[in-house]
């Protein structure tokens, strides 16, 4: 790929400075050395084995879910030619998983082994507390990602994301939310990890199959991070993530400014596919106008003629009214 614009780098000397950057950011940014003092980072700088030992000492004796690529299949966790996953998902104990990562670390072409989005508090004792970023009043989900060399297809997430490299090196290639058309997304329902992904192989783009990808690259940004560095990925930004070292660890924090009882927009999209997409054109156009009126424009004309106290879910949602709406939808879907 052509040279891409680097992600902006900022300074964050303390929690207040990081909070300011997060609150005002309109695009991704990198903070070098943000977590360089973590014990996990220090262990990883001694050796990969020291980092694995650090994790084993703190893990809970429960099965972990791990993705294992095919032998000789390279580092890309993706679809095979039949649009099935090119990796298996199995459960094993952490010492066994990390031991296998250590055994293949020096192989020329090891199969990919990847622990994805492991809840730090649910699967480790004291790991999150000893290796954390002060995010103020935010209540993030802290996850750890551990793997060999891997390539994860471009995808996006609804929450904001602060991703911290704890071991190895990672390259992030990022695209603004409006580039989804140019990334040639795959299926919405058959996905590697719950989100639609770009079908483009970033190491060998096929301009004939994916002609709009060149336009996406014109808007792309790239950052390569070492252990101790962090990157903020705003919600809905697309990101292609590569684990570049033989052994890599990432810790990330996800949070939303919206209340926890808000629904998931992806669920609304799936329901619209079920209920609207295949209607006759004139009916689809009607529902486009209805959605614009009630959801996207949603100005005073929607409720001005309805007495206060009688507007139901047309009033701003609360936890109580959202619960009633969710219960109503469940009843309707169950019919």
Angstrom distance (rounded) from CA 200 to CA 55 = 34
d(CA 81, CA 70): 13
Has residue 1 got a pLDDT over 80?
no
**What pLDDT is attached to residue 287?**
98
Is the pLDDT higher at 257 or at 296? 296
> What's the rounded Cα separation, in Å, for the pair 56 and 67?
19
Q: Is the pLDDT of residue 262 over 70?
A: yes
pLDDT at residue number 73: 84
Confidence at residue 106, expressed as pLDDT on a 0 to 100 scale: 87
Average pLDDT, the chain: 96
Q: Is the pLDDT of residue 72 over 90?
A: no
pLDDT-based confidence at 283, cuts 50/70/90? very high
Question: Measured between alpha carbons, how far is 204 from 199 in angstroms, rounded to an integer?
Answer: 11
- H runs (alpha helix) in 25-119: 39-46, 48-58, 94-104
Pinpoint the residues of the chain covered by CATH 2.60.120.10: 5-255
Residues 6+ apart with CB under 8 A from 253: 133, 135, 138, 140, 141, 142, 143, 161, 162, 163, 164
CB 247 within 8 A of CB 105: yes
Distance CA 104, CA 108 (A): 9
Task: Return the number of other C-beta atoms located less than 10 Å from residue 257's C-beta.
Answer: 10
Say what the pLDDT of residue 2 is: 62
- Provide DSSP, 198-236: B---TTS--TTT-TTHHHHHTT-EEEEEETT-EEEE-TT
pLDDT in tens, 4-30: 999 999 999 999 999 999 999 999 999
Widest CA span of the chain, in angstroms? 71
pLDDT of residue 3: 87
CATH superfamily membership of 5-255: Jelly Rolls (2.60.120.10)
Query: What pLDDT sits at residue 71?
Result: 83
Q: What is the pLDDT of residue 108?
A: 84
């Amino acid at each position: 790929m052509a040279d891409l614009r680097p992600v902006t780098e900022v300074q964050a000397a303390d929690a207040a400075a990081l909070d300011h950057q997060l609150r005002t950011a309109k695009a991704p940014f990198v903070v070098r050395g943000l977590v360089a003092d973590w014990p996990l980072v220090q262990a990883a700088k001694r050796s990969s084995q020291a980092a694995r030992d650090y994790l084993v000492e703190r893990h809970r004796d429960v099965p972990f879910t791990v993705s294992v690529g095919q032998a000789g299949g390279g580092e890309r966790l993706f679809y095979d030619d039949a649009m099935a996953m090119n990796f298996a998902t199995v459960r094993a104990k952490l010492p066994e998983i990390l031991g296998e990562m250590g055994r293949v670390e020096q192989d020329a072409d090891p199969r990919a082994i990847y622990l994805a989005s492991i809840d730090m508090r649910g699967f480790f004792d004291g790991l999150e507390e000893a290796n954390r970023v002060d995010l103020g009043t935010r209540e993030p989900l802290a996850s750890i990602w551990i793997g060999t060399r891997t390539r994860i297809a471009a995808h996006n997430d609804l929450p904001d994301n602060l991703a911290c490299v704890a071991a190895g090196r990672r390259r992030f290639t990022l695209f603004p939310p409006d580039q989804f058309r140019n990334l040639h997304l795959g299926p919405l329902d058959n996905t590697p990890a719950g989100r639609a992904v770009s079908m483009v192989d970033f190491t060998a783009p096929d301009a004939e199959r994916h002609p709009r990808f060149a336009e996406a690259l014109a808007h792309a940004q790239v950052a390569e991070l070492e252990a101790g560095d962090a990157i903020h990925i705003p919600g809905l930004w697309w990101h292609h993530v590569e684990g570049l070292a033989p052994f890599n660890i990432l810790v990330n924090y996800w949070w939303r400014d919206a209340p926890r009882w808000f629904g998931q927009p992806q669920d609304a999209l799936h329901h619209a596919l079920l209920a609207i997409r295949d209607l006759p054109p004139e009916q689809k156009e009607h529902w486009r106008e209805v959605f614009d009126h009630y959801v996207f424009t949603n100005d005073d004309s929607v409720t001005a003629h309805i007495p206060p106290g009688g507007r139901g879910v047309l009033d701003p949602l609360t936890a109580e009214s959202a619960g009633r709406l969710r219960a109503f939808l469940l009843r309707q879907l169950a019919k």
